[in-house]
Chain A
């Protein structure tokens, strides 16, 4: 169906019918001081030729350097079939359609996505996605505070991405929620357990547990989950979905409950066998590593899963499987009483939406790679990063900063200004990592480096040559 804007006559007729003088009159209850007026920073429109030229010029700035930056957005191989299928007309829409049940194919795709991501995270339920990982973290914090009921404090470790922390703070600060920063151990690069002790017994709603953390380091998620639960906090897992192909699923974090449920009989699957583990209560993250190209920062998508007990506190759309009057399988939006069209101001969220198209691509990506393909991509990324770190540390003055095991990112300390070294590497066509100086000045000249499965041995050698050239040149 084409989009047909209203004509001047349409608008006049509608205004006349409701007795409004002009369109501005419809917004007169908004105080004038809050209106932004003219957007002077936004230029006039460009014609198609000008836009094409501008976009070509911008595109030329992308993808040129050999990229070793991760920090939340990862360059992975995406099979060509993923976007060939995702951009078919039947799929090509950004959101859950209105009159959703008329689009059974779209709902089934979202249902399959929920099943895949819930299985990857080891959780009971998934929503149909959120905007991105950072807003997903903010929603998880809001959800934990709603579920906990008594406390509005949440522990947010400094090993969580500084950008995620900034987004979460922006969203929750006006809701009277306090985010308490937990420092990290400068030797290991992971959450400092000693710093946690002062919060033992305090009334705190939840703790965020990143895995891997922003430095690529692996947190002791079992001990952290157990500790959070012992303090009556919810455990919010912030995870990279690709790494879950190898790492323990958040749903299985922590120790078994003291009184295990009776084990299921023969034929019990893995998730049943671990049903006596409470695990993380909420799992969120950015789905970008599952089929979304870097695209200068987006669109990506956020995923969010939770345990059954919290499902009515989850924001966003949830697709359910049911049967129609004839007993045939059908898909439907479910648990909608959480949502704003029913619950209005008391909805679980009035700021979220889903990223249907990105999720469609992720579903196809996961289906094409399969569990084994995801494992291989994750393992190759880990292996390449280990190799790169070892090679880089062969350059005089360069060393790995943290002792904890790392997944596919490492922090390197440089003997010279990190900003200058990265600029020098960029001149040689290598994006050498991100400078941690603005975010963690206490680390000195430190950079965060990532080598995914897309990098070859030759690429790693090129990185090291560029680094050597800058440091010794």
Chain B
């Protein structure tokens, strides 16, 4: 599965989608879910929490590991995907559909400055040996 060109990415393997209402949706990438394996639990941040860029704010837990998820930019949490509470495996099935939480970014420029799909692919390639 290739990384969708309409999304932004971070080096810590989050994807970011800009929504029509000015918020952004955040999930973890295909590469990240592949490394972690079968998801068993997702812990999302509280709605209303103000986050700094790169702040740890969520946890994904698989059968073999647990990993932190970081805020890609500064902003406030506006929604969480509660479907993942009972069905975390949706992240494995379709990581780019299974958004975890939404944020209202403090600055749209911060979002624009994130990596595009090609830059992210270079990060993934450099990690593979």
Name the interface residues of A329-351: CB closer than 8 Å to any CB of B. 337-338, 342-343, 346
Q: Which of B64, B65, B66 has the most CB of A within 10 A?
A: B66
**Bound CA–CA A149/B44 (angstroms):** 13
Contact B46 A337 (CB under 8 A): no
Contact B66 A342 (CB under 8 A): yes
Of all chain B residues, the one with the shortest Cβ separation from A337 is B66
Residues of A within 8 A of B66 (CB): 337-338, 342-343
Residues of B within 8 A of A338 (CB): 66
CB distance from A217 to the nearest CB of B (A): 39
Contact B41 A312 (CB under 8 A): yes
Of all chain A residues, the one with the shortest Cβ separation from B63 is A337
Name the interface residues of B41-85: CB closer than 8 Å to any CB of A. 41, 43, 46, 61-62, 64-66, 68
Residues of A within 8 A of B41 (CB): 312, 337
Interface size, chain B (Cβ < 8 Å): 10
Partner of B65, one of A149, A342, A346: A342
Q: 1/0 contact trace for B16-49 toward A, CB 8 Å?
A: 0000000000000000000000001101001000
Name the interface residues of A343-392: CB closer than 8 Å to any CB of B. 343, 346
**Bound CA–CA A343/B46 (angstroms):** 22
Contact count A vs B, C-beta below 8 Å? 16
Residues of B within 8 A of A149 (CB): 46
**Bound CA–CA A312/B60 (angstroms):** 12
Of all chain A residues, the one with the shortest Cβ separation from B40 is A337
**Bound CA–CA A312/B43 (angstroms):** 10
**Bound CA–CA A343/B56 (angstroms):** 14
**Bound CA–CA A347/B96 (angstroms):** 29
CB distance from B37 to the nearest CB of A (A): 11
Residues of A within 8 A of B62 (CB): 337
User: Taking beta carbons and an 8 Å cutoff, which residues of A are in contact with B?
Assistant: 149, 312, 337-338, 342-343, 346
- In the complex, besides A337-B65, A343-B66, 14 extra interface pairs with C-beta distance below 8 angstroms are A149-B46, A312-B41, A312-B43, A312-B61, A337-B40, A337-B41, A337-B61, A337-B62, A337-B66, A338-B66, A342-B64, A342-B65, A342-B66, A346-B68
16 A-B contacts (beta carbon < 8 Å) = A149-B46, A312-B41, A312-B43, A312-B61, A337-B40, A337-B41, A337-B61, A337-B62, A337-B65, A337-B66, A338-B66, A342-B64, A342-B65, A342-B66, A343-B66, A346-B68
Can you list the 5 inter-chain pairs with the closest CB atoms, starting with the nearest? A337-B66, A337-B61, A343-B66, A342-B65, A342-B66
